[in-house]
A and B are shown apart, each in its own frame.
Chain A
């Protein structure tokens, strides 16, 4: 059974719309993260949460808002979508105070 679930696997959106990317982990971890990989760019850290509280935010734009409704959920809401937001978004998790992070399968977002 997959331990980190991301939904949907593929997502196509129009410019200006809003989407929510879902992440659930069943590893019993207490820290969760979002990363993004755009074409030809390295994997880029976006957010980290520990015990449902924001630890770090390295996303310049407020259009990206993480949402943690349960301790094993960390969704990512993206508003006013732009074509530059097209990327694969990966969720990851770890067990504090350990550092090892495990990645979900990703959501590939295409903004037209």
Chain B
């Protein structure tokens, strides 16, 4: 089964609104959680990440929340802008796993004017 799941394949948000993206995972050994942004035919770009000893991290308009007991992490993007339109990938990894990142299938965010 898929170890990292993004249950919403797509999301539409109005310009200026908040995008909330969710990711669930299965492996208790994961201790690193990341969000990447990807445009079609481009490579993933790291947006923000946390280790398991942190339950929240902010960076500008981005905030990642980690709920270890619920095996869930999320990305909040405030003041959404048209250039935020992209595919967002969540990823998780375990130190013991040779740093392999396990990716979700992605959520396509569309920001409408």
A residues with a Cβ closer than 8 A to B are 31, 33, 35, 41-45, 48, 50, 55-56, 58, 90, 94, 99-106
Contact = CB atoms under 8 A, between A and B. Distances in A.
Nearest to B95: A99
A55 B43 contact: no
A41 B104 CA distance: 9
Contacts of B111: none
Contact of B99 (A41, A44, A55, A105): A55
Given A100-B34, A101-B46, A106-B43, A43 B99 contact: no
A33 B43 contact: no
Contact of A56 (B45, B98, B105): B98
A96 B92 CA distance: 17
The secondary-structure label for the interface of chain A is: strand
Contacts of B51: 99
A58 B89 CA distance: 20
Contact of A103 (B2, B4, B43, B105): B43
B37 to A, nearest CB: 11
A43 B98 contact: no
17 contacts: A33-B101, A42-B104, A42-B106, A43-B101, A44-B103, A50-B99, A56-B97, A56-B99, A56-B100, A94-B99, A99-B34, A99-B95, A101-B46, A101-B101, A102-B46, A103-B43, A103-B46
B44 A99 contact: no
The winner among A31, A35, A41 for most chain B CB atoms within 10 A is: A35
A41 B2 CA distance: 11
Contacts of B102: 45
A99 B97 CA distance: 12
Contacts of A41: 105
A16 to B, nearest CB: 28
Given A43-B89, A99-B32, A58 B44 contact: no
B42 interface: yes
Given A56-B97, A99-B93, 8 more contacts: A31-B99, A33-B99, A42-B103, A44-B103, A90-B43, A94-B99, A99-B49, A104-B43
